[in-house]
Structure 1
Amino acid sequence: MPVDIFIKQIAILALVAMAGVIGSWTKIITTEVKDFVARLIFNITLPAMLFGNFSTLELTPRLLSNSFQILGLAAFVLAFMLAVGWITSSVTGISEDDKPVFRLHSMLGNTIYLGFPVIFTIFGREGLLYASLFTLVSNISMWIIGVMILTNGKKLPARERIMHIMNPNTIAIVAGFILFLSGFRLPGVIKEAVTGLGGTTTYLSMIYI
């Protein structure tokens, strides 16, 4: 991406975020409003953004190959970071009680879905595709491997793990990726409604921040 375009996109995000700051200063955006906006983003507009992004991408050999490479890369990176955390916790003075938490934090980043609108603004639909797939692997790892680490090998019931994994955004990613792989195209009216709703996420998330 050319530097001038990158700077322009960052400036737009900063201006929208400033509107949120002003709203907080003037008490227009209260804690209750922020809580409502967060629920609105997480449960409605962001899933629409993620699903709509998959529906607008055309399946090509390059995108298909890159998508599976991202899935494999995500698994490798998470496994590598877990191994680093395991080794580090074993050779340092970390207590046995703290080792599981340290290892888990070494594998999983403190990431939130609000990063998606920023990725979409800067890197476009293809960048959002790759970020979505990486997050999918990370979430699955968190609720399977992460839980096993924190519970010392004990497994949660499969139903409970699935309930944690399948939040609205994960469902949107899985459904969207299946749609993307199938090559099926949404009807024009539905596509515009979904992408239009999802398009509000960037501005809502910046105001929330």
Structure 2
Amino acid sequence: MGFVTSLNQVSLMFLLMAVGFLANRVGFIHEQTSKDLTAILLYIVSPCLIIKAFEQPFSVHQLTQLSLAFVGTVLSYLVAIIVGRLAFHRVKNTEQRTALQFGTVYSNAGFMGIPLTNALFGSAGVFYSVPYLAVFNLFNWTHGINLFKSEKNQSSRRYMVRSVLTNPNIIAIVIGLIVFLASFKLPTILQSGVNYISGINTPLSMMVIGNSIASIKWRELFSDHLIWPGILLRNIVMPFLTLLILAVIGLHGTALLATATMAACPVAGIVVLFTLLNDGDPAFAVKLMSLSTLFSIVSLPLMIAIAAL
């Protein structure tokens, strides 16, 4: 997977984002429409894509690679949490500090990573991306959400466990693992339905991201110098450290490329949602997410090419 090949595919992703951007600007996508499309992606399309990827004969080698990807991703998240704290603990503004620490750890694995691995590596890419997505959800709804809360307003353990267990992607992963371990084949009509629904994941995900970028005030986008260290850590440093960890533990081939691609994605868009949920000002989080996404048109192909060496 060379730089030019991955650049072409990432460029296609950005072309699809541009469609969402333009749809917003001409008034085709409104705030409620965006929420509805996001819900469709989260609760219907993405789970179908995951289940589709797991529908294949059981293989000890694949199970081993899945396990290694899971362990490597957990280690990379722990490293990212430490790096984020060390890098931004002196930032005085609480909302900015929280957004930067969150952005260091959490990539846009669901909305951008899964469509990209599917486009680059097919169902095998999605299959090996699942451990990263599982770890993302486990950390995001425990460590991630609590970053945005004061010590007096920490989420209860019951709420965090419920958030993880009821997440549609986690449920799909459990179903997919059962399908894979049992070498179960879906009935033809159900399989066709899953295939049709999962097929809209890439264009719809990119359009939703493009729609969110359309709300940016471009004159203010480059005004905050604190954003750039955050982008450097999220788009370059952490993907490279993750790649080193994965290589050291023995991950290789498509499993390595898919996991590295997930790690190289820009700041997760949920940073904006968590800020809003805790009555914060989302302006900095929006700028961080948007600039990280725009910069990823260069950083993503670069990191994928390095992973392919």
Indicate yes or no: 2:139 matched with 1:141: yes
Equivalent position of 2:111 in the other structure: 114
1:185–1:80 distance in 2 versus 1, CA, 3 Å: same
In the alignment, the residues of structure 2 paired with residue 185 and residue 135 of structure 1 have an alpha-carbon distance, to the nearest angstrom, of: 23
Whole-angstrom CA distance in 2 between matches of 1:102 and 1:10:
25
Instruction: Calculate the aligned-residue CA RMSD, in Å.
Output: 3.4
Q: How far 1:7 sits from its partner (Å)?
A: 5.3
Q: Which amino acid aligns with 1:105?
A: F
Contact 1:41 1:205 survives alignment (8 Å):
yes
Alpha-carbon offset, residue 197 of structure 1: 0.8
Decide which structure has the larger Cα Rg and report it: 1
Q: How does 1:18-167 map to 2 (within 5 A)?
A: 18-55=18-55, 57-87=56-86, 93=90, 101=98, 105=102, 108-111=105-108, 113-115=110-112, 116-146=114-144, 156-165=155-164, 166-167=166-167
Equivalent-residue separation in structure 2 for 1:29 and 1:45 (angstroms):
19
Contact 2:84 2:105 in 1 (8 A): no
Q: 1:2 to 1:58 in 2, by over 3 A?
A: farther
TM-score by length of 2: 0.55
Aligned-residue identity in percent: 20
Residue 17 of structure 1 contacts residue 207 of structure 1 at CA under 8 Å; is this kept in 2?
Answer: yes
Contact 1:104 1:146 in 2 (8 A): no
CA distance in structure 2 between the aligned counterparts of 1:102 and 1:28, rounded to whole angstroms: 30
Distance 2:179 2:150 in 1: 36
Q: Give ranges in structure 2 of 5+ residues lacking alignment.
A: 211-309
- CA displacement at 1:34 relative to structure 2: 2.2
Q: CA deviation at 1:88?
A: 5.0
Count of aligned positions: 206
Larger CA deviation: 2-11 vs 106-115: 2-11
Question: What letter is aligned with 2:110?
Answer: Y
Partner Cα separation in structure 1 for residue 194 and residue 5 of structure 2: 26
More contact order relative to length (CA 8 Å, sep ≥ 6): 1
CA contact (8 A) 1:78 1:107 kept: no
CA distance in 1, matches of 2:35, 2:91: 37
Q: Which moved more, 1:66-75 or 1:189-198?
A: 189-198
Give the superposition deviation at 1:19.
3.1
Label 1:88 to 1:33 Cα distance change in 2 as closer, same or farther (>3 A). closer
Q: What letter is aligned with 1:203?
A: P
Give the C-alpha shift of residue 161 in structure 1.
Answer: 1.7
Q: Could you tell me how far 1:22 is from its partner in structure 2?
A: 3.5
Give, in whole Å, the separation in 1 of the partners of 2:154 and 2:31: 37
Larger deviation: 33-42 or 190-199? 33-42
1:11 to 1:180, Cα distance in 2 relative to 1, 3 A: same
The Cα shift of 1:78 comes to 1.4
Q: Does 1:172 align with 2:203?
A: no
- 1:129-159 deviation line (CA, Å, top 9, x unaligned): 222211211221233445677666x985443
1:147 to 1:31, Cα distance in 2 relative to 1, 3 A: closer
Shift in alpha-carbon separation, 1:183–1:107, aligned structure 2, 3 A: farther
> What TM-score, normalized by structure 1, do the two folds share?
0.77
The answer (yes or no) to whether the contact 2:54–2:179 under 8 Å persists in 1 is: yes
Change (3 A) 1:159 1:178: farther
Shift of 1:102: 7.8
User: By how many angstroms is 1:122 displaced?
Assistant: 1.7
Gaps of 5+ in 1: none
Distance across 1 between alignment mates of 2:198 and 2:163: 23
For 1:82, the aligned partner's letter is: I
| Cα distance in structure 2, aligned partners of 1:4 and 1:199 | 25
**1:79, distance to aligned residue in structure 2 (A):** 1.8
